[in-house]
Chains A and B, each alone.
Chain A
Amino acid sequence: MLKGEIIISGVIFGGSLFLFFEAKKFEGHDVYAKLGPAYWPELLLICLMVLSAWVAVDAFRERKKAESEKKEGATFDRGKVRLLTAIGFIVLYFLLIKMIGFITLTPFFLIAFMYLLGERKKGWMIGISFGITALIVYVFTKAMYVPLPRGTGIFLTFSQFFY
Chain B
Amino acid sequence: MLEVWLGAIQNIFNPFTLLIIWGGVLLGVTLGSVPGLNSTMGTALLIPFTFAMSPINGLALLSAVYCGGTYGGSISAILFNVPGAPEASATVFDGYEMAKKGRAAQALGYAVICSCLGGIFSVVIMTLISPFLAKIALTFSQPEYFALAITALTLIASLGGKGLKKAMIAGLFGLLMATVGIDPMTGDPRFTFGGKALIGGINFIPAIIGAFAVGEILARSESRIEQKEVFLSKISTKLPKIKEIIKMKWLVLRSALIGTWIGILPGVGATTAAFVGYAEAVRWSKHPEKFGTGIPEGIAAPETANNAATGGAMVPLLTLGIPGSATTAVIIGGFLVHGLQPGPMLFINQPKLMYSIFLAMLLANTLMLFAGLGVAKVFSNFRRIRYSILGPCIFIFAAIGSYGIRNDPTDLWIMFFFGVIGYFMKKYNYPIAPMIIGLVLGNLTEISLRRGMRMVDYDLSAFLFRPIAGIILIIAVISILYSIIRKKPKVLEED
Q: Which residues of A line the B interface, CB within 8 A?
A: 1, 4-5, 8, 12, 19, 22-23, 26, 29-37, 39-41, 44-45, 47-48, 51-52, 54-55, 58, 76, 79-80, 82-83, 86-87, 90-91, 93-94, 98, 102, 106, 109-110, 113-114, 116-119, 124-125, 128-129, 132-133, 136, 139-140, 143-148
Contact = CB atoms under 8 A, between A and B. Distances in A.
Given A12-B169, A117-B224, 8 more contacts: A41-B179, A44-B175, A47-B168, A83-B423, A87-B218, A113-B391, A117-B392, A136-B400
Contacts of A19: 176, 191
Contacts of B379: none
A32 B387 CA distance: 54
Interface stretch (B38-46, B181-189, B242-250): B181-189
Contacts of A148: 400, 403
B188 A26 contact: yes
B441 to A, nearest CB: 12
Given A29-B186, A117-B388, A41 B416 contact: no
Interface stretch (B92-100, B125-133, B272-280, B405-413): B405-413
B397 interface: yes
Interface stretch (B13-21, B111-119, B339-347, B450-458): B450-458
B169 A51 contact: yes
22 contacts: A8-B424, A22-B191, A26-B183, A26-B188, A29-B186, A33-B450, A36-B186, A37-B185, A39-B450, A47-B168, A55-B166, A55-B169, A76-B222, A79-B223, A82-B224, A83-B218, A87-B420, A94-B409, A136-B400, A146-B52, A146-B403, A148-B403
A117 B458 CA distance: 56
A132 to B, nearest CB: 5
A156 to B, nearest CB: 17
Interface centre among B173, B400, B423, by most A CB within 10 Å? B400
Given A82-B222, A119-B388, A124-B389, A4 B51 contact: no
Given A26-B188, A37-B185, A94 B172 contact: no
Nearest to A133: B396
B222 A79 contact: yes
Contacts of A34: 453-454, 458
B389 A128 contact: yes
A139 B453 CA distance: 48
B327 to A, nearest CB: 23
A113 B400 contact: no
A117 B227 CA distance: 12
Contacts of B135: none
Q: Could you say which interface size class chain B belongs to?
A: 35 or more
B261 interface: no
Contacts of B221: 82-83, 86, 116-117
B169 A110 contact: no
A125 B420 CA distance: 25
Contact of A44 (B176, B217, B403): B176
B396 A118 contact: no
Contacts of A29: 186, 188
A158 B39 CA distance: 38
A82 B219 CA distance: 10
A35 B453 contact: yes
B466 interface: no
A133 B221 CA distance: 21
A64 to B, nearest CB: 19
Contacts of B419: 90
B299 to A, nearest CB: 35
B395 interface: yes
Contact of A132 (B396, B423, B454): B396
Contacts of A98: 409
Contacts of A117: 220-221, 224, 387-388, 391-392
Given A33-B454, A110-B392, A136-B400, A26 B190 contact: yes
B393 A110 contact: yes
Contacts of B165: 51, 54-55, 58
A4 B427 CA distance: 9
Contacts of B231: none
Contact of B393 (A26, A45, A55, A128): A128
Contacts of B226: 118
